[in-house]
Amino acid sequence: MSLLLLYNFGTNQKSVPVTLKVAVSGSGNKILGAVDSFAINVLGINAAVFYQQYFVSLGISRNKTVVVAITVASTALFSLTKLVSKILSFASISTVSVSKAVSKILSFASISTVSVSKAVSKFISVVSTATNSIVKSVMHYVSTVVSSSTASLVNLPNKLLSVISSSAVSVGRAIGKIIATSAEHMIVVLTNTATHLIGFAVLVTSTPVIQKSFGKFLSILSISSVSILKGFFRTLSFVATSTSNITHSLVKLISVAVSSTVSVIKNFFYSRLLSITSISIASIVKATNKTLLVISTAITSSVNQVKKILKIVSTSTSSLVAEFVKIYGAVALYTFIVPSKKLKATIVKALNLIMTKGQ
Amino acid sequence: MAESFSYKITTESELLTFDFGQVLSASETISTAVCTIIVLNGVDSSPSSMLIGSAVISNQTASQRVANGVDSVTYRLVMTITTSQGNTYVGLGDLDVYTSADVL
């Protein structure tokens, strides 16, 4: 049985009840008494809101609409609250707001603000030319966000998240197996992404900031600053043309290639390999690695490195302070300074000093 | 020029000894010994808390027990002694402190 939903749309009025009708083939129009098991198609030219009583009005939203499928095309404000549906689809040229919607599929296409809160969907797709905000959404499968402006994603447990934005992208506490964030122009901020990420890729032309990320793989390609704080990765790869900062990261493999300053601070890595290629300053402090390789054309500074193999190739000043290395090799083309402190851990303790005078 | 003791792990408690045997004459003995400690590199707002008890005199040596310390800080022990012949000598000993995780 094919169903077609018809409706009357009140214009320039608020809270105008609209009788929803359904056309059943061969039996004429019928007033829709319940929509729990039917599809609803709404083409709104003004603000439209679903009521539990199946109204369409201009203003305040109501809750707990239960439908199988909802398709909305609106030219004005749209607000849906506590929708339980299998398929929810929007096409709007104005603001779209969805709160506590439980859908298997949630799809947006908007040229204005899109806001999704506590949506439970297996699939969510958002295409917007303005601000996107998705908060506490639980999605099983694929999430795609395409935005030409700010995109903000908070508490997203996804298996796959893909974000393409030409402006700021913010992802907080996302839990996904695979997350791919691609931002073409502006800032990317990833905060508290306590994730079990298998793959995580960031492509930006500006500053990416990642805090407290847990992933198996992280790849960042940036033409500006890169900053990672407290990331726990198996593989971390950087390609940046500007400043890079890595702090408190636990990784097995870290590779950094930048054309500007590189700073690695207090990385208590269980890294098997740390490789840094920089044409500017490279500074590494308190990194614990098995292998460290630094290639720099400018100043290289390594402090308190504990590792088995350290190799530094520098075309400028190299400074190694308080190093403990088992195998130590270094090549410096210009200046090379190794303080007389311990380059190798001693086994026999020297607890007695023999005082001499003028000798 | 100051000599260096072997590095100390923060959890170790060690008796560090200054041997003035090559400075003192055969019959000269140490009358008093006072040990102080300063920070050479790093930050430790209370380095004196590393000194456990007072300096101990034994023939021509003076010893001081040290414990604790801050990771990656270099300390200098300054042992000042007076002798039975009225001489005053100062022995300097540098001490690096690390955590056990810093040393392979």
pLDDT score, position B5: 86
Pairs of residues, one from chain A and one from chain B, whose beta carbons lie less than 8 Å apart = 67
Q: Is the dihedral of CA B47, B48, B54, B59 positive or negative?
A: positive
Residue B31 CB-half CA count within 13 A: 9
With vertex at residue A341, the alpha carbon angle to CA A244 and CA A355, rounded to the nearest 5 degrees, is 155
Flag whether pLDDT at B20 surpasses 70. yes
Instruction: Decide: pTM greater than 0.90.
Output: no
> Which secondary-structure segment (H or E) carries A153?
strand A151-154
pLDDT score, position A21: 33
Chain B residues with CB inside 8 Å of A348's CB?
A: 6
Measured CA to CA, the distance from residue A192 to residue A175 in angstroms comes to 10
Measured CA to CA, the distance from residue A40 to residue A62 in angstroms comes to 16
Measured CA to CA, the distance from residue A223 to residue B13 in angstroms comes to 51
Beta pairing, strands A48-50 & A56-57: antiparallel
pLDDT score, position B52: 95
Interchain contact B67–A (C-beta under 8 A): no
First-to-last C-alpha distance (Å) of chain A:
107
B34-51 average pLDDT score: 92
Which pLDDT band holds residue B21 (cuts at 50, 70, 90)? confident
Flag whether pLDDT at B48 surpasses 90. yes
Residue A234 CB-half CA count within 13 A: 9
B73-100 average pLDDT score: 90
Q: Report how far apart, in Å, the C-alpha atoms of B20 and of each of A254, B53, B63, B75 are.
A: 51, 21, 11, 20
Select from B5, B7, B43 the residue whose CB has the most chain A CBs within 10 Å, as the one to mutate to test that interface.
Answer: B7
ipTM value, please give it.
0.73
Query: Min CA distance, A354 vs chain B (Å)?
Result: 5
Q: Is the dihedral of CA B44, B50, B55, B59 positive or negative?
A: negative
Chain A residues with CB inside 8 Å of B91's CB?
A: 353, 355
* Run means of pLDDT, 10 residues per run, chain A, 359 residues: 33 33 31 33 37 30 44 56 60 65 65 66 64 61 60 61 63 58 58 57 66 66 70 70 70 68 64 67 66 65 60 60 43 38 46 64
